[in-house]
């Protein structure tokens, strides 16, 4: 299996201010089943975070809705005071009334409350990167983004990102605030937000693909993904991450896990160099 460190995939500078290694860590799974409640082993969750930092990961993505609140609390418990250069991104704008429920709430008053809660749980005076988790169809998008701009003006947010947006929504947000990142679903088998990725690449905005490891039937034995993985002494998931890293220089994958072993496998993807033919083969196929 290919092993590596996160630094081998290169770096990206968010908003011209915060430079991160392009392969980050998504902290969603440092919680219980269904992203609800406490993890099975809170100590192990902390060990995963320590190992991620040791492997060169300096970009961690979380949200107040993961747990809810549990992921942010574990990050602070494990890593605070934070090492120099570690960038922690969090999100607000989703409510969790129960397991399996993800209800948008983009009201300015809720976003202010959510931001204050994240500041407290993460034990910081200013959030490195704060992302609007999802547009709320019941609230004008301009009002939600405007609330984040106000919090930024007050010094509570350094940089602002948006998530689960269309190109039109991204344009709306950029008319209000400097958007430094977009977090949309994107992976080898689901490229529905390719237009948004292309816009980010054109304008130097970081693109954070969530659910980056979906490979589906592509990983079946004898298939093109499996063949490429064998050629690199790697796993199909590592190749899927390597494809993302080579797909665009603004791509910032954040694979998540609650296992140190799986973390090390994911970070190993940073050292895989796919050939032009391999990239073309993977880019042509779908699940």
Catalytic status, residue 130: no
Helix or strand or coil: residue 86? coil
Nearest to 20 by CA among 55, 62, 56, 74: 56
Residue with tokens 């970070």: 267
* Among 66, 82, 130, 141, the one annotated catalytic: 66
* Cα–Cα distance for residue pair 53/75, rounded to 1 Å: 12
* Cα–Cα distance for residue pair 161/22, rounded to 1 Å: 16
CB 70 within 8 A of CB 30: yes
In which element (H, E) is residue 72 found? helix 70-79
CB 148 within 8 A of CB 130: yes
CB 249 within 8 A of CB 13: no
* Cα–Cα distance for residue pair 106/127, rounded to 1 Å: 18
Q: Helices 236-247 and 260-268: crossing angle, nearest 10°?
A: 50
Four-residue CA torsion sign, 267, 186, 88, 258? negative
Beta strands, E only, 15-111: 18-21, 25-26, 59-61, 87-92, 94-95, 103-104
The total of other beta-carbon atoms located within 10 Å of residue 279's CB is: 15
Helix or strand or coil: residue 92? strand
**Mind telling me the catalytic residues?**
66
């Amino acid at each position: 299996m290919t092993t590596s460190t996160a630094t081998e995939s290169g770096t990206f500078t968010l908003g011209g201010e915060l430079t991160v290694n392009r392969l980050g860590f998504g902290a969603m799974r440092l919680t219980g089943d269904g992203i609800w409640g406490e993890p099975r082993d809170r100590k192990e969750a902390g060990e995963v975070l320590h190992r991620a930092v040791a492997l060169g990961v300096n970009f961690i993505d979380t949200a107040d809705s993961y747990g809810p609140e549990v992921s942010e609390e574990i990050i602070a418990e494990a890593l605070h005071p934070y090492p120099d250069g570690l960038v922690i991104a969090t999100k607000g704008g989703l409510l969790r009334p129960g397991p399996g429920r993800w209800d948008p709430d983009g009201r300015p008053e809720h976003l202010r409350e959510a931001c204050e809660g994240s500041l407290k749980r993460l034990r910081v005076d200013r959030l490195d990167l704060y992302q609007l988790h999802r547009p709320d169809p019941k609230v004008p998008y301009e009002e939600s983004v405007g609330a984040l701009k106000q919090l930024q003006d007050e010094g509570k947010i350094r940089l602002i990102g948006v998530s689960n947006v269309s190109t039109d929504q991204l344009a709306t947000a950029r008319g209000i605030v400097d958007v430094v990142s977009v977090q949309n679903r994107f992976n080898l088998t689901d490229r529905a937000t390719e237009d948004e990725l292309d816009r980010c690449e054109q304008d130097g905005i970081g693109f954070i693909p969530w659910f980056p490891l979906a490979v589906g039937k592509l990983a079946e034995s004898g298939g093109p993904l499996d063949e490429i993985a064998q050629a690199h002494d790697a796993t199909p998931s590592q190749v899927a991450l390597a494809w993302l890293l080579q797909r665009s220089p603004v791509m910032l994958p954040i694979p998540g896990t609650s296992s140190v072993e799986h973390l090390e496998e994911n970070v190993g993807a940073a050292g895989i160099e796919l050939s032009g033919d391999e990239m073309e083969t993977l880019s042509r196929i779908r699940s």
